[in-house]
């Protein structure tokens, strides 16, 4: 099963209407995303909890890394640069942090509030190589903006 971003966005919008708590929003988004696509092996947020530091937030899947500095890994790169990281082969990504040995590819998107403040990153791992496309990046970015842009 492959995600339908428009339909999933509608479901998330109805579930989160009026909610302003970041963690509650993250938990709901992660749950819906994780179960919407068979490619999504680990789906979670890493939250900015202090300058240059991400800490694990709501997630679905096996254990994740607890702390990721902005200077390391795919999540750190997304937080540091503010750009989507679309990684076809995690073993070829310099400084990749292997939280799970099953991860083959990854997509990480910065998550911003409406005022532009970086809340964290959305990290989706797959046990399949080259699992994510530019269409995934666009669909996820639209969904994140609709949920977190109102904060």
CA distances from 10 to 2, 16, 89, 112 (A): 16, 10, 31, 20
For 78, counting Cβ atoms within 10 Å of its Cβ (0-12 exposed, 13-18 middle, 19+ buried), the class is buried
pLDDT at 128: 95
pLDDT at 93: 81
Give the model's confidence band at 1: pLDDT under 50 very low, under 70 low, under 90 confident, else very high: confident
For 16, counting Cβ atoms within 10 Å of its Cβ (0-12 exposed, 13-18 middle, 19+ buried), the class is buried
Which sequence spans correspond to the domains of the chain?
Answer: 5-148
Joined together, the tokens standing for residue 66 give: 């607890």
pLDDT: is 100 or 36 the higher one? 36
75-103 tens-digit pLDDT: 999 999 999 999 999 878 877 777 777 88
Q: Answer whether CATH 1.10.10.200 is correct for domain 5-148.
A: no
């Amino acid at each position: 099963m492959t995600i339908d971003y428009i339909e999933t966005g509608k479901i998330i919008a109805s579930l989160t209407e009026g909610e302003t708590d970041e963690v509650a929003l993250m938990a709901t988004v992660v749950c819906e995303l994780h179960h919407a696509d068979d490619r999504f092996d680990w789906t979670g947020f890493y939250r900015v909890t202090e300058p240059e530091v991400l800490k694990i937030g709501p997630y679905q899947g096996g254990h994740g890394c607890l702390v990721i500095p902005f200077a390391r890994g795919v999540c750190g790169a997304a937080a540091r640069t503010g750009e989507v990281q679309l990684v076809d082969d995690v073993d070829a990504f310099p400084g990749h942090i292997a939280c799970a040995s099953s991860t083959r590819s990854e997509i990480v998107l910065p998550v911003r509030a409406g005022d532009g403040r970086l809340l964290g990153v959305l990290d989706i791992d797959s046990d399949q190589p080259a699992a994510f496309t530019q269409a995934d990046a666009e669909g996820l970015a639209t969904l994140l903006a609709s949920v977190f842009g109102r904060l």
